[in-house]
Amino acid sequence: MAETAPPIDLQAETIITLNARMDSGALTAHSLTQHCLDQIERINPKINAILEINPDALHIAQELDQERASRGPRSLLHGMPILIKDNLDTADKMMTTAGSLALVGSYAKVDSFVVKKLRQAGAVLLGKTNMSEWANYRSTRSSSGWSSRGGQTRNPYALDRSPGGSSSGSAAAVAAGLCVAAIGTETDGSIVSPSSMNSIVGIKPTVGLVGRSGIIPISHSQDTAGPMARCVEDAAILLDLIADVDPADDITKQRQSALPIHRPKDLSAAGLKGAKVGVARNYCGYHEGVDEIVASAISAIERAGGEVIDGLGLVTMADIRVHESIVMSTEFKFGLNQYLSGTTQQCVRSLADVIAFNEKNSPTTMPYFRQELLEISQARNDLSDPEYQQALGESRRLARDAGIDAMLSEHQLDAIISPTTCPPWLIDWVGGDNRSGGSACAAAVAGYPSVTVPAGYVFGLPVGLSFFSTVDRDAMLIKLAYAFEQQTKARIAPQLNDHATLN
């Protein structure tokens, strides 16, 4: 007889409550995994967040149940179904394609470092999520959440709206309750922006806190994986278990002093008391509804005992982007060629091969927008190019010394806050994304940590608040974000509406 799953509402559960139910025998990893699979079958046709289900998920869950019964749980993630973005290698029956038809048939020989840590922690790898193809590094006119392999992911708060990118499927799946939590990746905004637009928590760690081997790269100076969850505590638990020194990623050796991140016992609703935060006011002002949410957030922080310094100006995205674009296009070619040279499929072994594949198969690979970013990258010189070296130095100077660090130092701040990004825009495959604002750039280019938390809604469309600071302040930001979350309790579960609530 098939196992009957007990009632489960992941919108109301956390990793801690799920563990308590498993410890009591009221819930099993198998029944929880089956619940997630049932939810995927029911909801995913509407949001298209999942590319591939792990065919061994239920078997893995059953083995983990047996292990819990005989030896106890490995960690708080033991038996928890976790979804993985499709640019992280999994050495199993699932492909790793970055959403590209060019990599269909590519099966990893070795787990990415993050996936290895998840398996060691006892997580159930539930499946792979759809994403903006090549992590949104293909066209200046792309539609976030669209890939040639998977099609368009949709926002569960309004199905005609964008889920943001590039960790689109991870964000939409978490928001819709298809998993306990998910892994995303970010180069510039790809964790925090879709998290904000799907009303979940996203943590973009300090670069190097989480090992990056086995992740299809864009920029080794900015890339990182990070957790995406419905609450800060769950995201913190996930980050704590994937953050570690990666022998294949030298930058992680610099982050050892920042480990561990935050155990649940370290989090407190009083975490904002005595904190001093500054508002990057020049990253506001693009929508009156967003500004009203920022005003409410400031009041909430002050009620929680924090001090807010408003009206501050942070280095602009436009100033940084002119240099960042050179860095990303140069590093993308270098990193992707290195990654592709070790894949199992044979027809695509370099960026030049990807470009040629897309041209040859353009009706399916490029039906709406082209690949000009890939072509720009292919034309770049190697990492010794003086133009690249100068751009890298200037990017870091603007984002760090003259940017975040300058603002923190001048005003003696613990952190900076700003709206993470604008409300979700209408999906437009012809014109592309219609983003009116966002604040991810400075922390992303600096390699500094950032946490976004649900802060409110504009006509039912989610808006998140970002907390960001300097290097290795991940734990402090998590503490502040948790206290803000507890003060506001802003998150509302999605109703899978066809359109935004405009009245």
Choosing from 132, 190, 377, 439, the catalytic residue is 190
Task: Give CA–CA dist 175/161, Å, rounded.
Answer: 14
Q: Where are the beta strands (DSSP E) in 191-265?
A: 201-204, 224-229
**CA–CA distance, 205 with 160 (Å, rounded to integer):** 31
Mapped to the 3 state alphabet, what secondary structure does 61-98 carry?
A: HHHHHHHHHHHCCCCCCCCCEEEEECCECCCCCCCCCC
Measured distance CA(360)–CA(379) in Å, rounded = 19
> Percent helix, strand, coil in the chain (nearest 5)?
40, 15, 45
Distances (CA, A) of 131 to 26, 50, 458: 35, 9, 25
Is residue 340 a contact partner of residue 347, using CB atoms and an 8 Å limit? Answer: no
Q: Which residues pair with 147 in a beta bridge?
A: 151
The verdict on whether 166 is a catalytic residue reads yes
100, 142, 144, 166: the catalytic one is: 166
- Other beta carbons within 10 angstroms of residue 288's beta carbon come to 8
**217 to 87, 98, 134, 171, 177: CA distances (angstroms):** 8, 10, 9, 20, 28
| Cα-based angle 261, 224, 46 (whole degrees, multiple of 5) | 100
Active-site option among 31, 85, 195, 418: 85
Is-contact 427 165, C-beta < 8 A?
Answer: no
| 215: three-class secondary structure by DSSP | strand
**In the 8-state DSSP scheme, what is residue 306?**
-
Give the residue numbers annotated as catalytic, written as ranges. Answer: 85, 166, 190
